[in-house]
Amino acid sequence: MDKRELLSLLVETYQSGRIPLSAEIERLLKAYQGCRTVAMGCQIYRCDCCESSVVIYNPCNKHGCPICYKKNQLRWIEIIKKKLLPTRHIHLTFCFPEAMTQQWLKDGRCTVKELFRAVKKALKKLGQSLGLRMGFILVFQSHGKGLSYKAHIHCLITDGGLDKGGKWQSAGVLPLAKMTEWVKESIGDYQEEKGWKIHVSRHNQGGEAVVGYWGSRRSGVVTDIEGLTSEGEMVRTRDRGGRVCLDKAVFVERYFKHIPPKGLVTARHCGLYSNRQKEDYQKAKSALKGEQREEVPQEPYKEVCPKCQTELRLVAEWAAGSNPDFIRWGYGVGPPEHREMSTGKVL
């Protein structure tokens, strides 16, 4: 299922009245429909080699947008990977009882903040018990297999930290049982419920694979969508847990439910990765200089001509809601498609 097909499925399902249309979802759908269209404004690029023009419309940059989510995911992955210290990392997954997921369904914003607060307290106690200043990156996720509801927090931890003397020391074996108890104590409620657990895995290559997985689930788009079944009433989705078929109404309802509320931050940086510890972060990088990975310099992104692969030059730009003069740049009557190329004469 391509981007526009997914957008049509979201719009048609809500227009059918099978799912209540809230003001927030209505706002999102309106933004999705305008994404990468003339309504969002655009830029015209010109190729000095073959004299072609290319129109590029602006994205809406809204969570869950099936049109522009991929670029935002890749940008986030690149930023986090550059920030990772050159050392092994430990990946922890904090799982909570089903009652916490039900609480998240009722009040997502407050529940996410409560879960972050509890996990951050447990990680702070971990560093204190080990006598190390460590780095932590936390990401909240709400989905399980087939877009099911399963509130949990992923955490990437440096496999070690700075001791009091400023030297890098290995963390060794983590006290997972104690960490589970620390989280339960911080939350207070549901302590007698089943489901409290921490899954652990180590990554010798630095944790880039984990960040890639996290990034592919950001922006509200949380699974690969294969398409509709032959009858056209079920949606086939693919995830790490396998393939699942969902009724269209169920799929769309879950799709929007997993989109974070406006303004809610679902990724946190703590310890050496926080902005408050920039000085210690630089000390850690210096202490780990023997483990430095060779960094390949990233060239700035450039738009290239789809015809001759020459770098394009920005020649015109219009803001959202304006009336671009496409005829001036060789296009016919009516707005062209996103990234459509024109070889017409510039007026």
Q: What pLDDT is stored for residue 94 in this prediction?
A: 96
Look up the CATH architecture of domain 87-222+258-291. Answer: 3-Layer(aba) Sandwich (3.40)
Tell me the mean pLDDT in the region 171-189.
91
What distance in Å separates the CA atoms of residue 172 and residue 132, rounded to the nearest whole number? 11
| Domain residue ranges in the chain | 3-63+302-342, 87-222+258-291
Say if residue 191's pLDDT is above 90.
no
Provide the pLDDT confidence category of residue 117 given band limits of 50, 70 and 90: very high
342's CB contacts (< 8 A; 6+ apart) are 52, 53, 54, 55, 329, 330, 331, 336
Which amino acid is it at 92? L
pLDDT (average), residues 260-272: 91
pLDDT tops 80 at residue 232: no
The three-class DSSP label of residue 73 is: helix
- CA distances to 69, 74, 206 from 212, rounded to whole Å, are 14, 8, 12
Q: Are 25 and 65 in contact (CB under 8 A)?
A: no
Mean local confidence (pLDDT), 328-338: 89
Report, as an integer, the average pLDDT of 118-122. Answer: 96
Asked whether residue 221 carries a pLDDT value surpassing 70, the answer given is no
Mean pLDDT, the chain, whole residue set: 88
At a CB cut-off of 8 Å and minimum separation 6, what does 89 contact?
156, 157, 158, 159, 202, 203, 206, 207, 210
Of 127 and 75, more confident = 127
CA 3 and chain centroid, separation = 17
User: DSSP string of 234-260?
Assistant: EEEEEETTEEEEEEHHHHHHHHHHTSP
242 vs 345 pLDDT, higher one: 345
**pLDDT at residue 218, as a whole number:** 72
pLDDT of residue 289: 79
Q: How far apart are CA 347 and CA 319, in angstroms?
A: 21
In terms of Cβ atoms closer than 10 Å to its own Cβ (0-12, 13-18, 19+), residue 3 is middle
> Residue 329, CB half-sphere, CA atoms under 13 Å: how many?
24
**Quick one: pLDDT band at residue 205, thresholds 50, 70, 90?**
low
Residue 220, pLDDT above cutoff 70: no
- Res. 290 pLDDT band, cuts 50 70 90: low
Tell me what pLDDT residue 234 has.
82
pTM of structure: 0.86
Q: Does position 114 have pLDDT exceeding 60, yes or no?
A: yes
